[in-house]
Amino acid sequence: MLQYALKRIFWFIPILLGVATVTFLLLYVLPGDPVLSMVGERYDAATIQNLRTQMHLDDPLPKRYARYLSDLAHLDFGTSYITGVPVWKSIQERAPHTFRLAVAAMTIAVVLGMTIGVLAAWKRGSPFDYLLIGGSVVGVSMPVFWLGVLLIYVFSARLGLLPASGFGDGRLAYLVLPALTLSQASTAYVARITRSSVLDEAGENYVKVARAKGLSEPRLLVRHALRNALLPIITVVGIDFGSYLSGAVLTESIFAWPGLGRFTLDAILKRDLPAIQGSVLFMAAAFMLVNLAVDILYARVDPRVKLGGAA
């Protein structure tokens, strides 16, 4: 296991290098002079040139790439062109918010999703079942930004129950709407997997025997069937968690959530090169770590799965 994990981590480096290089090249190509973001409305050529020299923007490409890589090796992500704050500091400020949102979304996905799935399996075939499953399929298909807007409209503007944006003073209330929105697709998948898994199990012999013996049905379903649903659920949630950490850009934008996704979006739009490079690398690394964790967890839960056959 350890060997496997180490081997995977070893491969992180070339992949991150690839990500870093691709980002560097993309940004080189981005139109727009970052210096202009910094100088406001009225300025002159001398000020521009001063800034360009300070930021080494006029060096030739290979030299800039080399400097970029060497900075990275020292874990120096540079300083934001726009805010003047070290990028690593910004990431440290924003990452916990994204993490909180991701955890909340994951919790909702698992709890709500499994609940819906079990209910649907229990009432299989009834209109309730169709409604639940239909609702969850729609949930996957609805654009995230639209759901977010609808939720704000209903729960904040109309009913005044929940705050529409930001993370306020950290109370749970601020987390509810964004987490619900973010977890939309995951909840739907978890519900479907739970349901089909429960139904599969329900057909098994040992279940029929237990039923004949008079054990109450829901307990059966819950205890035995859910265990089998666990594997695919872990996979889904794990992968999604990884992508939540990568910043759910749209959700964070709509809810003004001060996370990494919005930070990166703003940075891209403002052409804040160091911020973009730093946060993209961080997110890619987080994503890969989570994937690794999911694979390991997967292997522990299901002894049949042998690690090492990774794609």
Find the binding residues for other proteins in span 246-305 (CB under 8 A): 246-250, 253-256, 258, 261-266, 268-271, 276, 280, 283-284, 287-288
Least CB distance to other proteins at residue 153 (A): 6
Least CB distance to other proteins at residue 211 (A): 16
What length is written for the chain? 311
Least CB distance to other proteins at residue 154 (A): 10
Per-residue contact string for residues 214-253; x = within reach of other proteins by CB under 8 A: --x-xx--x---------x--xx--xx-xxx-xxxxx--x
User: Does 194 interact with other proteins (rule: CB under 8 A)?
Assistant: no
Within 76-95, the residues that bind other proteins by CB under 8 A are 79, 82-86, 90, 93-94
| Complex with other proteins: residue 66 or 269, whichever CB lies closer | 269
Q: How many residues bind other proteins (CB under 8 A)?
A: 119
Contact with other proteins (CB under 8 A) among 5, 142, 293, 296: 142
Contact with other proteins (CB under 8 A) among 6, 61, 131, 149: 149
